[in-house]
Amino acid sequence: MFESLSDKFSGVIGDLGKRGTLTEADVAEAMREVRLAMLEADVALPVVKDFVNKVKERSVGAEVLESISPGQAVAKIVNDALIDALGGAGAVPLNLNAAPPVPILMVGLQGSGKTTTSGKIALRLATRERKKVLLASLDTQRPAAQLQLQQLAERAKVASLPIVAGQTPVEIASRAMDTARREGYDVVILDTAGRLSIDEALMDEVRQIRDVTHPAETLLVVDAMTGQDAVNTAKLFNEAVGVSGVVMTRMDGDARGGAALSMRAITGAPIKLTGSGEKLDALEEFHPERVAGRILG
Ligand code: GDP
């Protein structure tokens, strides 16, 4: 992830950082290369334009160009602009501030990693925050989905809602919340059905589940490898059902990074967590400043 982008950024910005003097033309030339590198990495065009303009605006001016180490000053401006694009400094934590049982609604397209991520979040909350977690699959579309989540729950050593054949997703959601209330669970993770593409039936189903459970978090799971499609998916989900956070999976792959850099500006939703493998502990908080550091090398 970010490899090619990082090669180019660290080349161009690293060179600037070493130089003792800089002109406005030097900055413009560097930004031309940065612009190309970002477009190649599949960053959305408005995000690229905004980034380049911001860096140019902040860089040209006596304080920066005539400072003792202008190259380093520009490198710092680029670093800050990267952090902005990635969503601002600091990880955005999961919001569990509601009366228990706190519902977390997991949404996304089929194959994005939604079910695996539900298991990962369950494991994390159970082990790191000592929460009593109930996992429930509301996926009545794929026959194996409910079993898959049950097996993940066993691996994570958390409870899963017993499977009852013939219930609708909304009925399962209500049963999950009732069970959690009765049995004193802190968190209920509701894994909804995915589809191959976004359709009105999917959004309707999610809206109905949302309206009976009132989730504290609606987490959209997207695959980093799908680039701008991940961003478009997030935009559509956010408009249709409201998304409080994004989990970006397959950060362990060779995705070019455009989705991570475009997500916040295009959708408004913060990336809260990232997945970096198939194992249940391969889940990390998303720290924009660390990612910016990785990109700048
Ligand atoms: P769902 O259809 O959205 O529920 O997707 P699944 O959770 O079933 O995941 C689809 C496949 O992606 C499975 O083989 C997962 O093991 C794999 N997967 C999920 N998250 C990640 C990740 O962060 N990295 C990698 N490499 N594979 C992942």
Query: What tens digit of pLDDT does each residue of 16-63 get?
Result: 888 888 888 989 999 999 999 999 999 999 999 999 999 999 998 878
User: What ligand 1 atom has the least distance to the C-alpha of 120?
Assistant: 20
Alpha-carbon distance of 25 to 74, in angstroms, equals 13
Query: What tens digit of pLDDT does each residue of 124-133 get?
Result: 999 999 999 9
56 within 8 A of 34, measured Cβ to Cβ = no
Q: What's residue 46's pLDDT? A: 95
What is the rounded (10 degree) CA torsion for 293, 295, 296, 297? Answer: 80
Query: What tens digit of pLDDT does each residue of 146-171 get?
Result: 999 999 999 999 999 999 999 999 99
Residue 68's pLDDT band, with cuts at 50, 70 and 90, is confident
Is it the case that residue 255 has pLDDT exceeding 90? Answer: no
Q: What's residue 82's pLDDT? A: 96
Cβ(119) – ligand 1 distance below 6 Å: no
Instruction: Report CA(92)–ligand 1 centroid distance (Å).
Output: 23
Q: Which long-range contacts (CB under 8 A, 24 or more apart) does 128-132 make?
A: 131/96, 131/186, 131/187, 132/159, 132/184, 132/185, 132/186, 132/187
Cβ(113) – ligand 1 distance below 6 Å: yes
Number of residues that this document lists for the chain: 297
Q: What average pLDDT does the segment 178-190 reach?
A: 98
pTM confidence score: 0.94
- Residues ≥6 apart with Cβ < 8 Å to 233: 108, 109, 198, 220, 222, 226
Q: What's residue 142's pLDDT? A: 83
Q: What average pLDDT does the segment 114-132 reach?
A: 97
Residue 242's pLDDT band, with cuts at 50, 70 and 90, is very high
Q: What's residue 125's pLDDT? A: 98
Identify the residue whose tokens are 């978090």. 217
* Secondary structure class of 273 (helix, strand, coil): strand
Is it the case that residue 135 has pLDDT exceeding 80? Answer: yes
Instruction: Indicate the burial class of 50 (C-beta count within 10 angstroms; 0-12, 13-18, 19 or more).
Output: middle
Instruction: Report CA(277)–ligand 1 centroid distance (Å).
Output: 8
Is it the case that residue 259 has pLDDT exceeding 90? Answer: yes
Alpha-carbon distance of 119 to 150, in angstroms, equals 9
Cβ(141) – ligand 1 distance below 6 Å: no
Alpha-carbon distance of 269 to 209, in angstroms, equals 20
Query: What tens digit of pLDDT does each residue of 208-230 get?
Result: 999 999 999 999 999 999 999 99
Q: What's residue 297's pLDDT? A: 85
User: What ligand 1 atom has the least distance to the C-alpha of 108?
Assistant: 3
Bridging pattern class, strands 245-249 and 133-137: unpaired
Cβ(226) – ligand 1 distance below 6 Å: no
